[in-house]
A and B are shown apart, each in its own frame.
Chain A
Amino acid sequence: MVNYIWVGMMVTGFIVAMLTGNVDKVNAAVFKSAQEAVTISLGMVSILVFWLGLMKIAEKGGLLEMLALLFRPIVKRLFPDVPEGHPALGYILSNMVANLFGLGNAATPMGIKAMEQLKKLNGGKNEASRSMITLLAINTSSITLIPTTIIAIRMNYGSSNPTDIVGTTLLATGVSTVFALCIDRFFYYRSSRKGKK
C-alpha cells in the first residue's frame, strides 16, 4: 500500500504541477526536501547517540528489565507475542513513558530499539510483525500528558492560560489510543483469518 501512496503522491503532484504551471516550484521542492531529509537524519545523530548511550547503561544495570516486570500485566495484554522478560518489553515501556511526558526526542531512540528487538523476535524478516504494528499504533496515537511544544507556542502568542488545553489533549489522546488499539486488533484478526483460508 505504501508503494501506491508513494508513487501516487508524486505522479499526482507532477500532473497537477503541469496543469497549474507550478513545475518550477515542484522542481525546487524535490531537491529542497531531499536535502531537508538528510539534515533531519543527521540532526538526529546527537540525540540518538546521547539517549542510546544512556539506555545502554540502564540496560546493563537491569533497569529496563525492572520496568518491564513492573508493568508486565498491561504490556502482556498489549503484546501477547513477546515472551516474558524479553528486552523488547523494557524498550517498549520506556518509549511509552517518554511519549506520555511529551519527550518525543527521547521516545524515538527507544522506539527504534524496541523495533530492533521485535525484528529479532520475528526471525529478522523485513516484514512487520503483529507487535511492531501495535507499537506503531500506540506511537501515532500516543497518550500525551504534557504537550510541551504546543504550550510553549501558546505562551509565545500571549495566551491567558497556555495550559488549558492539557485536559482536552489528554482526553482526545486517550480516546484515540483506545480506538487505535481496537483498530489494530480488528485488522490483526481479519488478516490472520485470511491467512488460514
Chain B
Amino acid sequence: MSFINSFSIWFIPFLIGFILLYGTVKKVSTYEAFVEGGKEGFSLAVSMIPYLVGMLVSISVFRASGALDLLLDFGKPFFDFIHVPGEVVPLGLMRTISGSGALGITSDLIASNGPDSFIGRLASTIQGSTDTTFYVLTVYFGAVGIRKMGYALKVGLLADLIGFIASIIVVTIVFS
C-alpha cells in the first residue's frame, strides 16, 4: 500500500525531471522545445470541441429522457438470470459512454454498499478496468480529424463487454 502510494506520488516528478535532464544532456534547447510543443496543445484542445459537444449532447439527451433507465429495466430479468447484480449494470453501460458519469455511479455504489462489500469491490474493479470508449474514440479521432471510423467502435464496445464480464468473473472468484 505505502509502496504503491509513494510510487504514484514520485512517478510524475521523476518522469518530468528525467525528461528535462535527458534533454539537457543531449543539448536540446529545452525551454524553446517546451514552448514549441506546448503550442500544439492549445489548437488540439480547440479542435476537439465540436466532436465532444456532439457526443455529450447525444448521450445526455438519452440519459435525461429516461431512455437509459427504460433500457435497464427491460434487461433486468436477463441480468438476474445470469447472476449479475443489477446494481452494477448501469455502471457497465455508463462506463462506455461517460467517464465522469461512471465515476459518479461507482462512488454512489461504494457509499451505499461499503467499499469492502462484494458490490463495492466489483464496482471498483469495473471502474478501473475499462476506459470510456466513446470518449477515447471522440478525443483521439476527433483531434486528428478522423471521420470514417471503420470497425473501431465495434472493437471498442466488444472490448468493454469483455472487460465487464472479466471483472465479474475475477471478483467473484477472488472475493466470494
Q: Which residue numbers of A lie inside 8 Å of B, CB to CB?
A: 1-2, 5-6, 9-10, 12-14, 16-17, 20, 22, 25-26, 28-30, 32-34, 36-38, 40-42, 44-45, 47-63, 101-104, 106, 108-109, 111-112, 115-116, 119, 126-128, 132-133, 135-137, 139-142, 144, 146-151, 153-154, 157-169, 171-173, 175-176, 179-180, 183-184, 187-188, 191
The verdict on A10 contacting B158 (CB below 8 Å), with A136-B136, A153-B110, A171-B170 known, is no
Number of interface residues of B (CB under 8 A): 98
Q: How does the 8 Å CB contact mask read for B100-127 relative to A, with 1 for contact and 0 for none?
A: 0001001100110011100011001111
Question: CB < 8 Å: which of B49, B151, B171 contacts A37?
Answer: B49
CB–CB B128/A175 < 8 A: no
* Distance A172 CA – B34 CA, assembled complex (angstroms): 37
Chain A residues, CB < 8 A from B93 = none
CA distance A114 to B103 in the complex (A): 27
Interface membership of B83, Cβ < 8 A: no
Residues of A within 8 A of B159 (CB): 137, 140-141, 176, 179-180, 183
Q: List 18 A-B contacts (CB under 8 A).
A: A29-B60, A30-B61, A33-B57, A37-B49, A51-B41, A53-B41, A54-B20, A61-B22, A119-B144, A126-B148, A153-B107, A157-B111, A157-B115, A163-B1, A164-B116, A172-B126, A173-B128, A191-B150
How many angstroms between the C-alpha atoms of A16 and B72 in the bound complex? 14
A159 and B107 CA atoms in complex are apart in Å by 12
Q: Which residues of B contact A127 (CB under 8 A)?
A: 146-148, 150
Does the CB pair A172–B166 fall under 8 Å? yes
Q: How far is the CA of A23 from the CA of B158 in the complex (A)?
A: 32
In the bound complex, CA of A187 to CA of B106 (Å): 32
Pair B34/A187 contact, Cβ less than 8 Å? no
Say yes or no: is B153 at the interface (Cβ < 8 Å to chain A).
yes
Q: How far is the CA of A167 from the CA of B97 in the complex (A)?
A: 25
> Which secondary structure dominates where chain A touches chain B?
helix
- B130 cross-chain contacts in A, Cβ below 8 A: 140-141, 173, 176
Q: How far is the CB of B35 from chain A (nearest CB, A)?
A: 7
Nearest to B160 among chain A residues (CB) is A140
- Contact residues in B for A146 (Cβ distance below 8 Å): 4, 7-8
User: What is the bound-complex CA distance between A26 and B63, given in angstroms?
Assistant: 8
Say yes or no: is B84 at the interface (Cβ < 8 Å to chain A).
no
CA A31 to CA B125, docked complex, whole Å: 33
A159 to chain B: which residues have CB within 8 Å? Answer: 115-116, 120
Point out which of A6, A53, A146 has the most chain B C-beta atoms below 10 A from its C-beta: A53
Pick the residue among B28, B64, B152, B163 that contacts A57 (CB under 8 A). Answer: B28
Residue ID in chain A nearest B26 by CB atoms: A61
B55 touches A61 (CB 8 A): no
| Chain B residues, Cβ within 8 Å of A10 | 57-58, 61-62
